[in-house]
Chains A and B, each alone.
Chain A
Amino acid sequence: MIALGQQIENKFLEAVNKKSGSNILECYQCGKCVSTCPVSSFMDFPPREIMQMVKLGLKEETYMANSMWFCLTCAACSSRCPREIDIPRVMEAIRHLAIEENVDPDNPKVKAIRKFHEIFLDMIKRYGRNYELRMMAEFNIRTRNLFKDMHLAPKALLKGKIPLGHEKVQRAKAIQRMFKMAEKLEKIK
Chain B
Amino acid sequence: MARVGVFVCFCGANIADFVDVPAVTEEAKKIKEVKYAIEYKYMCSDPGQQMIRDAIVQHRLTSVVVAACSPRMHEKTFRKALSDAGMNPYLLEVANIREHSSWVHQKDKKAATEKASDLIRMAVAKSIANEQLHEISVPVTKRALVIGGGIAGIQAALDIADARIPVVLVEKSPSIGGRMAQLDETFPTLDCSQCILTPKMVDVASHPFIELLPYSEVMELDGYVGNYKAKIKRKASYVNFDTCTGCGACWQKCPVKVPNEFNMGIDKRKAIYSPFPQAVPNKPVIDAEHCTMLLKGKCGICAKVCEKGSIDYTMQDEIVEREIGAVVVATGYDLWDPSPYEEYGVGRYKDIITSLEFERMVSANGPTGGVPVRPSDGKVPKRVVFIKCVGSRDEAKGIEYCSKICCMYTAKHAILLHHKVHDSHAYIFYMDIRAAGKGYEEFVKRAQVETGATYLRGRVSKIYKKGENLMVRGEDAQLGQVVEVEADLVVLATAIYPYKDNPDLARLLGISYDKYGYLSEAHPKLRPVETAKAGIYLAGCTQAPKDIPDTVAQASAAAAKVCGLFAGDTLKKDPMISTVNTEFCTGCQNCVTVCPYQAIVTEEIPLGHGSKEMRIVAKVNEGVCQGCGSCVAICRSMAIDLAGFTDMQIINEIVSI
Direct contact of A and B (CB under 8 A): yes
Taking a contact as CB atoms closer than 8 A, the residue among A35, A80, A84 that contacts B458 in the complex is A35
Q: Cα distance A30–B397 when bound, in Å?
A: 15
Is A31 a contact partner of B475 (Cβ separation < 8 A)? Answer: yes
* Smallest Cβ-Cβ distance to A47: which chain B residue: B475
Tell me how far the C-beta of B124 lies from the nearest C-beta in chain A, rounded to whole angstroms.
52
Is B477 a contact partner of A36 (Cβ separation < 8 A)? Answer: no
Stretch at the interface among B220-228, B459-467, B528-536: B459-467
Tell me how far the C-beta of B333 lies from the nearest C-beta in chain A, rounded to whole angstroms.
21
Does B393 make an interface contact (CB < 8 A)?
yes
Tell me how far the C-beta of B177 lies from the nearest C-beta in chain A, rounded to whole angstroms.
34
Task: Answer whether A28 and B431 are a contact pair too, CB < 8 Å, given A35-B460, A41-B482.
Answer: yes
Is B475 a contact partner of A82 (Cβ separation < 8 A)? Answer: no
Does A34 make an interface contact (CB < 8 A)?
yes
Does B100 make an interface contact (CB < 8 A)?
no
Tell me how far the C-beta of A47 lies from the nearest C-beta in chain B, rounded to whole angstroms.
10
Task: Answer whether A49 and B480 are a contact pair too, CB < 8 Å, given A82-B395, A83-B395, A83-B396.
Answer: yes
B395, B475, B480, most chain A CB atoms within 10 A: B475
Q: Cα distance A41–B477 when bound, in Å?
A: 13
A30, A33, A36, A41, most chain B CB atoms within 10 A: A30
Query: Which residues of A lie under 8 Å from residue B149 when comparing CB positions?
Result: none
Query: Which residues of A lie under 8 Å from residue B431 when comparing CB positions?
Result: 28, 30
Tell me how far the C-beta of A44 lies from the nearest C-beta in chain B, rounded to whole angstroms.
11
Tell me how far the C-beta of A74 lies from the nearest C-beta in chain B, rounded to whole angstroms.
13
Please report which residues of chain B, range 572-588, place their CB below 8 angstroms from some CB of chain A when the two chains form the complex.
Answer: none
Q: Cα distance A34–B398 when bound, in Å?
A: 20
Taking a contact as CB atoms closer than 8 A, the residue among B395, B457, B461 that contacts A80 in the complex is B461
A46, A48, A80, A83, most chain B CB atoms within 10 A: A80
Does B394 make an interface contact (CB < 8 A)?
yes
* Smallest Cβ-Cβ distance to A82: which chain B residue: B394
Does A10 make an interface contact (CB < 8 A)?
no
Does B473 make an interface contact (CB < 8 A)?
yes
Is A35 a contact partner of B482 (Cβ separation < 8 A)? Answer: yes
Query: Which residues of A lie under 8 Å from residue B476 when comparing CB positions?
Result: 31
Please report which residues of chain B, range 397-430, place their CB below 8 angstroms from some CB of chain A when the two chains form the complex.
Answer: 397-398
Task: Answer whether A32 and B397 are a contact pair too, CB < 8 Å, given A41-B482, A80-B343.
Answer: no
Does B627 make an interface contact (CB < 8 A)?
no
Q: Cα distance A124–B431 when bound, in Å?
A: 46
Query: Which residues of A lie under 8 Å from residue B395 when comparing CB positions?
Result: 82-84
Q: Cα distance A34–B477 when bound, in Å?
A: 9
Is B396 a contact partner of A40 (Cβ separation < 8 A)? Answer: no
Tell me how far the C-beta of A106 lies from the nearest C-beta in chain B, rounded to whole angstroms.
24
Query: Which residues of A lie under 8 Å from residue B483 when comparing CB positions?
Result: 35
Task: Answer whether A82 and B482 are a contact pair too, CB < 8 Å, given A31-B457, A32-B475, A35-B460.
Answer: no
Please report which residues of chain B, range 459-517, place their CB below 8 angstroms from some CB of chain A when the two chains form the complex.
Answer: 459-462, 473-477, 480, 482-483
- The size of the chain B interface, using a CB distance under 8 A, is 23
Task: Answer whether A84 and B480 are a contact pair too, CB < 8 Å, given A32-B458, A32-B474, A35-B461.
Answer: no
Is B474 a contact partner of A35 (Cβ separation < 8 A)? Answer: yes
Q: Cα distance A84–B477 when bound, in Å?
A: 19
Please report which residues of chain A, range 34-62, place their CB below 8 angstroms from some CB of chain B when the two chains form the complex.
Answer: 34-36, 40-41, 46, 48-49
Does A145 make an interface contact (CB < 8 A)?
no
Query: Which residues of A lie under 8 Å from residue B461 when comparing CB positions?
Result: 32-36, 80
Is A30 a contact partner of B482 (Cβ separation < 8 A)? Answer: no
Q: Cα distance A152–B51 when bound, in Å?
A: 103
Is B474 a contact partner of A31 (Cβ separation < 8 A)? Answer: yes
Does A73 make an interface contact (CB < 8 A)?
no
A34, A83, A84, most chain B CB atoms within 10 A: A34
Is B475 a contact partner of A46 (Cβ separation < 8 A)? Answer: yes
Is B396 a contact partner of A36 (Cβ separation < 8 A)? Answer: no
A3-44 interface mask toward B, CB cutoff 8 Å, 1 = contact, 0 = none? 000000000000000000000000011111111100011000
Query: Which residues of B lie under 8 Å from residue A81 when comparing CB positions?
Result: 396
* Smallest Cβ-Cβ distance to A28: which chain B residue: B431
Q: Cα distance A143–B561 when bound, in Å?
A: 79
Query: Which residues of A lie under 8 Å from residue B457 when comparing CB positions?
Result: 31
* Smallest Cβ-Cβ distance to B431: which chain A residue: A30
Query: Which residues of A lie under 8 Å from residue B480 when comparing CB positions?
Result: 46, 49
Q: Cα distance A101–B459 when bound, in Å?
A: 35
B473, B476, B480, most chain A CB atoms within 10 A: B480
Tell me how far the C-beta of A186 lies from the nearest C-beta in chain B, rounded to whole angstroms.
32
* Smallest Cβ-Cβ distance to A30: which chain B residue: B459
Query: Which residues of A lie under 8 Å from residue B477 when comparing CB positions?
Result: 29, 31, 34, 48
Query: Which residues of B lie under 8 Å from residue A35 when comparing CB positions?
Result: 458-462, 473-475, 482-483
Query: Which residues of A lie under 8 Å from residue B343 when comparing CB positions?
Result: 36, 80
30 contacts across the A-B interface (CB closer than 8 A): A30-B389, A30-B458, A30-B459, A31-B457, A31-B459, A31-B474, A31-B475, A31-B476, A31-B477, A32-B460, A32-B475, A34-B461, A34-B475, A34-B482, A35-B462, A35-B474, A35-B482, A35-B483, A36-B343, A36-B462, A41-B482, A49-B480, A80-B396, A82-B393, A82-B395, A82-B396, A82-B397, A82-B398, A83-B395, A84-B395
Interface residues of B (CB under 8 A from A): 343, 389, 393-398, 431, 457-462, 473-477, 480, 482-483
Name 9 extra pairs, CB < 8 A, besides A32-B459, A32-B460.
A30-B389, A31-B474, A33-B461, A34-B458, A35-B473, A36-B343, A36-B462, A82-B395, A82-B397
**Closest 10 A-B residue pairs measured CB to CB?**
A31-B475, A31-B458, A82-B394, A32-B459, A30-B459, A35-B461, A36-B461, A34-B475, A35-B475, A31-B477
